[in-house]
Amino acid sequence: MEYFLMIISAIFVNNILLAQFLGNCPFMGVSKKMDTAIGMALAVQFILVLAALIAWTVEHYLLVPLDLQYLRTLAFILVIAALVQLVEMFLKKSVPTLYQSLGIFLPLITTNCAVMGVALLNIKKEHGFFDALIYSTAAAAGFGLALVMFAGIREKFEFSPVPRPLQGTATALVTAGLMSLVFFAFKGMI
């Protein structure tokens, strides 16, 4: 039951994107097309989970035993940057169309604060390895859910009569705010 609550909380109640406001750059940048949003969600899922687990391992087996916790941010950034490079090379060789459609946003996962935020939250909440795996996977799923939902809504706006002053970024920001309010309503359920 505890893991179920952790999963529901990470996906809906404390959504890393809509409740904690981490990772907004790719949220706004790649959410104009559904296929690009799904590709970014999968890339972030992979990187976020692996980065959080490797960061947890580095923290507990390297930084804490050597009393180097003050290097946590630097170590985590190095882990995330290395993983993003691996994913970027893989996508460039295996799925070049997705690589092209993600464009600059793929290397920007390195500086995606959601990835770093989940790694740091695992340490702050004192999760064990399995708890970190569950939480990271659920947080990444919540990120992907919000991104894909937002992309679907933005695609609908392409064919809807939106007043000229609200077209583009204005509608996207209002929609993101309304989505945050909808996800905020889940706080009363748990």
pLDDT score, position 190: 60
Q: Are residues 94 and 53 in the same domain?
A: yes
pLDDT score, position 57: 96
Q: Are residues 63 and 115 in the same domain?
A: yes
Q: Are residues 149 and 189 in the same domain?
A: no
Q: What angle, rounded to 10 degrees, do the helices at 34-58 and 113-124 form?
A: 40
pLDDT score, position 28: 82
Sequence-ordered list of residues with C-beta below 8 angstroms from that of 92, at least 6 positions apart, any chain: 99
Sequence-ordered list of residues with C-beta below 8 angstroms from that of 134, at least 6 positions apart, any chain: 3, 6, 7
Torsion of the alpha carbons at 18, 20, 26 and 32, rounded to the nearest 10? 10
Residue 142 within a domain: yes
Query: Could you give the CA distance from residue 146 to residue 41 in angstroms, rounded to a whole number?
Result: 9
Query: Could you give the CA distance from residue 74 to residue 55 in angstroms, rounded to a whole number?
Result: 11
pLDDT score, position 126: 94
Half-sphere CA count of 7, side-chain side, radius 13 A:
9
Residue 135 within a domain: yes
pLDDT score, position 62: 95
Q: How many residues does the structure list for the chain? A: 190
pLDDT score, position 35: 86
Angle at 168 between CA 167 and CA 173, to 5 degrees: 105
Instruction: Show pLDDT as tens, one digit a residue, over the chain (190 residues).
Output: 789 999 999 999 999 989 888 888 878 877 888 888 888 888 889 889 999 999 999 999 999 999 999 999 999 999 999 988 888 888 889 888 878 877 777 777 777 788 999 999 999 999 999 999 999 999 999 999 999 999 999 888 888 887 887 777 888 888 888 998 888 887 766 6
Q: Are residues 59 and 141 in the same domain?
A: yes
Q: Are residues 189 and 109 in the same domain?
A: no
Q: Are residues 190 and 119 in the same domain?
A: no
For 48, 56, 99, 120, 149, the CA distances from 116, given in Å and listed in that order, are 8, 12, 22, 6, 23
Residue 16 within a domain: no
Query: What is the residue range of 168's domain?
Result: 162-190
Residue 3 within a domain: no
